């Protein structure tokens, strides 16, 4: 597996750099709709454009898989004009998690292929079970269907407008938190929650402030706000993030911001800033 290294100021894939790593042995290229680290969408449409040029030049058919675990249940409702899905020529498969922004409890995820021919036959198991043959792509063991039913229930109960309204509220709350974070002259806000409802930030260059200490201090007041380093090549950059999920209200956001302000003042005092 070849990975595109991050760069200062760029925390997601660079399509041009990604395609440079492709050759005749490449079986696919992955774009992420909602980065785990920052919450940003990777530019899938630009990635499709670059891989299209590469495929034509070298007479290849390298496909794109979109890891839409988070953004797959957000973009269709809030960013309908954003092209990241099967409207793009080389996007052949997509995965999405129902237990994230699909609003179902953990345990359900979806994988979709553009066409039957895009799923290789050698990845499909044909199981002879109870008098009939059943093709399956998943692992074979007994498991509950409750999560699937839960997803179906949400589709029927909420519908398109219901999902749209919920995600719009998530985004408004995230935007408000990001707006408040910008008031502090020690932080750079990376994501304001305009893609998925994730607010992420880091400490400004040449500012000696410990985000791990801030995360620990928030934990004392009951908030789980992780601090972590970015992957290789930017492993010296520490980031914090807040994920807005169902049940996180405007009132809770106000409480978090008050506790955050107190925690920042405490950390400044401890670090003599």
Structure confidence at residue 66 (pLDDT): 98
117-151 pLDDT, tens digit each: 998 888 887 877 777 777 777 776 677 889 999 99
pLDDT value for 140: 64
Residue 80 is predicted with a pLDDT of 92
In the chain, where the domains are located: 15-120+138-150, 166-271
pLDDT one-digit tens code per residue, 48-77: 999 999 999 999 999 999 999 999 999 999
Spatial separation of the C-alpha atoms in residues 11 and 38, rounded to whole Å:
7
**Least confident interval from 107-116, 210-219, 250-259:** 107-116
Q: Could you tell me how far CA 142 lies from the centroid of its own chain?
A: 29
Given a contact cutoff of 8 angstroms between Cβ atoms, the answer to whether 103 and 72 are in contact is no
- CATH among 3.65.10.10, 3.40.50.10320, 3.20.20.70, 3.40.640.10 for 15-120+138-150: 3.40.640.10
Give the tokens for residue 130.
């109870």
Residue with tokens 């925390």: 11
How far is it, in rounded angstroms, from Cα 163 to Cα 77? 7
Which residue, among 116, 48, 12, 101, has the nearest Cα to 4 in the 3D structure?
Answer: 12
- Using left for φ > 0, alpha for ψ between -120 and 50, and beta otherwise, residue 262 falls in alpha
Q: Note the CATH architecture for domain 166-271.
A: Alpha-Beta Complex (3.90)
**Within this chain, domains 15-120+138-150 and 166-271 share the same CATH topology:** no
Q: For the whole model, what pTM was predicted?
A: 0.91
Terminal C-alpha separation, the chain: 43
Supply the DSSP string of the chain, one letter for each residue. ------BTTB-S--HHHHHHT--TT---EEEEBS-TTT-PBP-HHHHHHHHHHHHHHHT----EEEE-TTGGGTHHHH-TT---STTSTTEEEEEEETTTTT---SS-EEEEESSGGGS-GGG-EEEEETTEEEEE-S--S----HHHHHHHHHHHHHHHHHHHHHHHHHHHHHHHHHHHHTTSTTEEEEEESSSSSEEEEEEPTT----HHHHHHHHHHTT----EEE-STTSTT-EEEEEE--TT--HHHHHHHHHHHHHHHHHHHHHHT-
pLDDT in tens, 159-196: 999 999 999 999 999 999 999 999 999 999 999 999 99
pLDDT digits (tens, 9 = 90+) for 14-51: 999 999 999 999 999 999 999 999 999 999 999 999 99
């Amino acid at each position: 597996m070849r990975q595109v290294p991050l760069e200062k100021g760029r925390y997601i894939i660079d399509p041009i750099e990604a395609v440079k790593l492709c050759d005749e042995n490449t079986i696919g290229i992955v774009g992420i709709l909602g980065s785990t680290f920052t919450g940003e969408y990777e530019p899938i449409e630009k990635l499709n454009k670059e891989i299209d040029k590469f495929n034509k030049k070298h007479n290849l058919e390298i496909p794109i898989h979109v890891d839409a675990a988070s953004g797959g249940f957000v973009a269709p409702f809030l960013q309908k004009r954003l092209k990241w899905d099967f409207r793009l020529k080389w996007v052949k498969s997509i995965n999405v998690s129902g237990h994230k922004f699909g609003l179902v409890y953990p345990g359900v995820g979806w994988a979709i292929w553009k066409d039957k021919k895009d799923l290789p036959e050698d990845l499909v198991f044909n199981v002879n079970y109870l008098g009939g043959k059943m093709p399956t792509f998943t692992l074979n063991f007994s498991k509950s269907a409750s999560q699937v039913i839960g997803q179906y229930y949400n589709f029927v109960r909420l519908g398109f407008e219901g999902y749209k309204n919920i995600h719009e509220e998530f985004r408004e709350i995230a935007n408000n938190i990001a707006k408040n974070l910008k008031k502090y002259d020690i932080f750079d806000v990376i994501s304001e929650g305009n893609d998925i409802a994730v607010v992420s930030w880091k400490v400004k260059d040449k500012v000696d402030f410990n985000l791990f200490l801030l995360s620990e201090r928030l934990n004392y007041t009951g908030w789980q706000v992780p601090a972590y380093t970015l992957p290789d090549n930017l492993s010296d950059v520490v980031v914090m993030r807040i994920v807005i999920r169902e049940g996180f209200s405007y009132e809770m956001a106000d409480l978090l911001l008050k506790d955050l302000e107190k925690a920042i003042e405490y950390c400044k005092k401890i670090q003599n800033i």
